[in-house]
A and B are shown apart, each in its own frame.
Chain A
């Protein structure tokens, strides 16, 4: 009989891949929403010191202000061998902190300002002189809550 095709002999039908794009899109949207793009690239070495008596810093609520410090990385040798500060995307002097704090405050609403926390991301090889200068400036500007960001030591 020509009109009727012969039934395939017990072969499994191919799995439909039509839903694959949907699944992938779902994953894609998940990662797109959780991704936070870094706002500035680091120009300084930033290997945080180790500590275990630490608290989580909740950065979702926009209260955290970051200050980076460390030795300039390759490509920024013109700033010297000693540890320097990085504010946003440029190398700065401790005296420029005042301006930076005012700019950071201007970005936030009035209610948040008293609860602002300064997160110090300082390289473990930096010396305390720089950190002391930063703390001095913070005190002058009444930014008294600070957090020395650190990492948990690797388990032995």
Chain B
């Protein structure tokens, strides 16, 4: 008897099946990247401290947002686009000395004795109402954060040269793909220094309801 060969399985439709699966995964994949404004909340105190530290009024920059999303900065109505500049002028004023008695030698502000003494003493007090919209709140947080970032960027470029801005160094430092430990350590030192020069002090009062 003649040997019969087993017929080969037709693999022609294999590509079709694979394409079908491929298209399914293509459609369901969302390469999403989360971006956000990072903030640190204050510690919860069961009993409010009996003796709240006395802070000079000139070291506080008040930002109040009402339920109509209008903003009062230092008791004056202000538009959102002017907030960053006003905050930067306040933080960078350097009118006096820090808690350690050091003058702010890197500040480029007006050195007005009626405004903040030192970036480490300058406090931004943000207050909102329960009815304030979240988008306005985030926009304000964004502007305040941008004021600090811009000042840090300025100092970073001054100290470490162009191309080494705070934003760029921070991005490299946070990137999990960068494995160079020496580089990370160097960046960490620089970033800590910059953060020390312009510490982000945004204090939020508990929102009141009416």
The chain A residues found within 8 Å of chain B, CB to CB, are 17, 20-21, 24-25, 27-28, 31-32, 34-35, 37, 49-61, 64, 117, 119-120, 122-129, 131-132, 135-136, 138-140, 142-152
Contacts and interface: CB of A to CB of B under 8 A. Distances in A.
A24 B135 contact: no
Q: Report, as a range, how many residues of chain B touch the other chain.
A: 35 or more
A25 to B, nearest CB: 5
B44 A61 contact: no
Given A49-B139, A128-B131, A144 B43 contact: yes
A142 to B, nearest CB: 7
Contacts of B37: 51, 53-55, 147-148, 150
Q: Which 4 A-B pairs have the closest CB atoms?
A: A129-B130, A147-B36, A51-B142, A124-B135
Interface string B10-37: 0100110011011001101101011111
A145 B36 CA distance: 12
Given A55-B35, A131-B137, A31 B44 contact: no
Contacts of A150: 35-37, 138, 142
Contact of A127 (B15, B31, B134, B146): B134
A17 to B, nearest CB: 7
Given A124-B138, A144-B43, A149-B35, 4 more contacts: A21-B18, A54-B36, A56-B34, A150-B142
Given A17-B15, A24-B19, A146 B38 contact: yes
Contact of B130 (A127, A142, A144): A127
A contact patch SS: mixed
Interface string B125-153: 00011111111011101110110010000
Contacts of A147: 34, 36-39
Most buried by A among B33, B36, B39: B36
B18 A56 contact: no
A28 B22 contact: yes
Contacts of A64: 34
A106 B184 CA distance: 31
Contacts of B135: 49-50, 124-125
Interface string B160-173: 00000000001100
B176 interface: yes
Given A28-B21, A139-B42, A119 B31 contact: no
A35 B134 contact: no
B134 A123 contact: yes
B89 to A, nearest CB: 18
